[in-house]
Structure formats: C-alpha cells, structure tokens
Structure 1
Amino acid sequence: MKLTEKKRKDILDAAIQEFREQGFPAARVNRIAELAEVSKRTLYKHFESKEVLFQAITDILLDEIAAAPRLRYHPEAPLRAQLIAAVEDYISHLTGEHYMGLNRLVLSELLRDQVLARAFFDKAALQDGPISGLIAEAMQAGALRQGEPGFAAGQLLSMVKHFLVWPQFLLGTQAGENAGSVIADCVDMFLAHYSPES
C-alpha cells in the first residue's frame, strides 16, 4: 500500500472513530487529524471538508454491499435451499460487527440530514443486490412467477431484516439459534407468494 493510500485509510479510520464517539455534528477535524497522526493540511488534501469525509464513509458502506458476490440460479438444485443459503450469507454480512458499526454511524447521520439521506439512497438504488440476480434468473427459468426481481428481493430481505437485523441494530439483540428457522419461514412465505402456480 502506498503512503498516500495508507494516510487516506488512516484518516477514514480516525473519522469513523470520531464520528462514532461524538456524532457527526460534534466531530472535530482537529481530533480526526490527531487520531490519524496527520496534519490538518494533509487531511484537507485528501478530504476538503468534514462533509466530504462523511460522504467517503457512506461510499465505504455502499462498496461493502456491492462487494457481496452476485448469486446465480442453479436449476438442478432446489430453489428453496439456494434462497436460504443466500439469505443466511447476506444476513451474516449485515450483522457482522464492522458492518453493523458502520451502518449505525451512517444511518444516525442520515436521519438527521435529509439531503445526505436522499443522496445516499439514490446511490444505493443504483446497486443490484446480491439476491436479486438469483431471483431474476429463477423467474426467467419459470421457477418463480414473473415480477420485478429487485422488488421481490426487497420483499424477502425486508421480512428477514425485521427479525434478524433491526433488533440487533437498535437493541443489540442477537437472534441466536432461532435465526435459521426465521430465514426458512421467510423464504417459505416468499416462495408461496411467488410460486408460478399462484
């Protein structure tokens, strides 16, 4: 890693720490530079303002979502098993400590600033979720009735997130051993709704 890349990463890590501890409005650029062990001049060379720094953090969050591998539908395997495995992997990623902390940081600021929120969700809408590709291919193959794959994936994941992501995000409550049955139930409801016979 080049020195400039390392400094940029150090600044981002320091900003994440400062934003988590102080919140975005109270975060201080001086403190971020101090934590990153760089001068303010170096910080501003990489990020022209605190807002641009925060935008870079939201981009990290979106990049982590985009980095999830795109899943393919395999006609020779049961669709239910494929969806369960896909949702388990996705939820495991969302509830990981690093992602969850970053998500809390970003969403707390998006709740405060609707302009930032609009920009973030506009950018997020351009991304194709990891499960929508699998659903699109299953629809093309006739294993699911026709529909808009992104919307269908959103329906499935919204159900699962209600039980397994939001309680942990808001309350720190882990689903534990119940997670597998929650995912299976949600997949079963999804398959009943999108059955080619329905």
Structure 2
Amino acid sequence: MEPVGRSAQKRQAVINAALAEFKDKGFVGASMDAIAEHAQVSKRTVYNHFASKDLLFNEVTSSFWVRSKQAASLQFDASRTVEDQLLQIARSVWAVYQSAELIEQARIVLAELIRQPELVEQALAQVNDQECGLLPFLQQAVSAGALQIPDIKIAETQFWGLMKSFAFWPAVFRFHDFSAQAEQVLNSNVQMFVRQYLPG
C-alpha cells in the first residue's frame, strides 16, 4: 500500500494538473489522459483518486468555495463586540482572496459556470451542506441578541457582496487593486453591515 503522504502528494498533483487542463481546454476539452500526463502519474492513479472527470471538476470547484466559507467561520463570542468579530472575519476573508492560486481557480470555475452550469451547481450543493461559514455566526449573534436580522440568508449575501466588491471581483477581472485601502474598506463595510442589523 502506498504511504499516506505519498498518496496525498499524488492527489494534489492530479488536482493541480486538472486546474491547468481546465484552464487551457475547458471541462469538455480536458481529458483524464492529459491530466495524468501533466501530473506525471499513471491514469490508474488518477482514477484511484477521482472516479470520473466530473468528480475531479467537482473537487476543483467545491474546494474554491470551501476555502471562502472556512475563512468566514467563527464562533460567536458574547464577550466581544459583534463589530470586532465581523472585522476579524472580514480580514480573514480578505487574506484568502489575496491568494493568486485561489483567484486563478476562481477564473476557471467561473468560465465553466457559463459553459456547464450544472457541473458547478452540483459542487455548490455539497458546499452548502457544510456547517461552516458566515451563516452559523450570524445565527448565533441573532440568538444572543447582538444582531436583529429578519432574513439571515439575505444578510449573509449582503456581507459577501460587500467583501467581493472590493477583494474578489477586482482581482478576478484584474480591475483596481484595493490592497492599500484594505483596512479602510473593511472597517467601512463592517460598520455599514452592523448599523443595518443592530437591535432597536
């Protein structure tokens, strides 16, 4: 049996090769043969880790959203202000969106979202089943009386919209870089959000 560490290395090599193939050829044009060659592993090794190209693309897609959700995961702490905690979340999310690797992955996923929307929807369904991200934090803050939110899903989307407008979409489309103004932007976004949902 192959050592766990070696197996994990090969699995990551397959994922990296798949990213390169999906970028160059799209999902339809990419082949498991080419991915195996790019990863310098056997085709059998590729299929040992991912039984189909669909599952491999699912991994590439879901891992992108999972990293975003995990960055926003925080247990609500009643001893700290909700603004301070949301600012901590915002900084963590901003740091994730500074990853050139993640942004390149996002470009690949978004391109396929246009061509093959059903593939991305399958991966998103899995991500949404995970109990992490901003939603549990907001639910805990509401239960503790720190925030008053009529529709938590809408509030979650609003928070992500504020973040992505400055940290994600400009990076994906190579627009203006807000890095030098990050702290100003994050403080302003969090203040706007908290003012909207403070009790009373």
Q: TM-score range by the shorter chain?
A: 0.7 to 0.9
**Structure 2 match to 1:17:** 20
- Is residue 34 from structure 1 mapped to residue 37 from structure 2 by the alignment? yes
**Structure 2 match to 1:144:** 147
Shift of 1:106: 1.5
TM-score after normalising by structure 2? 0.84
Number of equivalent positions: 197
Distance in 1 (alpha carbons) for counterparts of 2:100 and 2:90: 18
**Kept in 1: contact 2:62–2:126 (CA 8 A):** no
Distance in 1 (alpha carbons) for counterparts of 2:109 and 2:52: 17
Distance in 1 (alpha carbons) for counterparts of 2:27 and 2:56: 10
Shift of 1:59: 3.3
**Kept in 1: contact 2:21–2:34 (CA 8 A):** yes
Unaligned runs of 5+ in 2: none
- Is residue 73 from structure 1 mapped to residue 113 from structure 2 by the alignment? no
Give the counterpart letter for 2:75 in structure 1.
Answer: R
Q: Deviations over 1:25-75 (max 9, x none)?
A: 332333211111123344334434322321222233244345447312222
Output aligned runs, 1:146-161, within 5 Å.
146-161=149-164
Shift of 1:166: 0.7
Q: Deviations over 1:86-129 (max 9, x none)?
A: 11111211331222222221221122112113223322332345
- Is residue 57 from structure 1 mapped to residue 60 from structure 2 by the alignment? yes
Specify whether residues 97 and 13 from structure 1 end up closer, same or farther in structure 2 by C-alpha distance, changes over 3 A only. Answer: same
Unaligned runs of 5+ in 1: none
**Structure 2 match to 1:165:** 168
**Kept in 2: contact 1:144–1:196 (CA 8 A):** yes
- Is residue 132 from structure 1 mapped to residue 135 from structure 2 by the alignment? yes
Distance in 1 (alpha carbons) for counterparts of 2:183 and 2:150: 26
**Kept in 1: contact 2:68–2:93 (CA 8 A):** no
- Is residue 120 from structure 1 mapped to residue 123 from structure 2 by the alignment? yes
Give the counterpart letter for 1:74 in structure 2.
Answer: D
Distance in 2 (alpha carbons) for counterparts of 1:172 and 1:138: 34
Tell me the percent identity.
Answer: 28
TM-score after normalising by structure 1? 0.84
**Kept in 2: contact 1:66–1:127 (CA 8 A):** no
- Is residue 179 from structure 1 mapped to residue 182 from structure 2 by the alignment? yes
**Kept in 1: contact 2:58–2:122 (CA 8 A):** no
Specify whether residues 101 and 29 from structure 1 end up closer, same or farther in structure 2 by C-alpha distance, changes over 3 A only. Answer: same
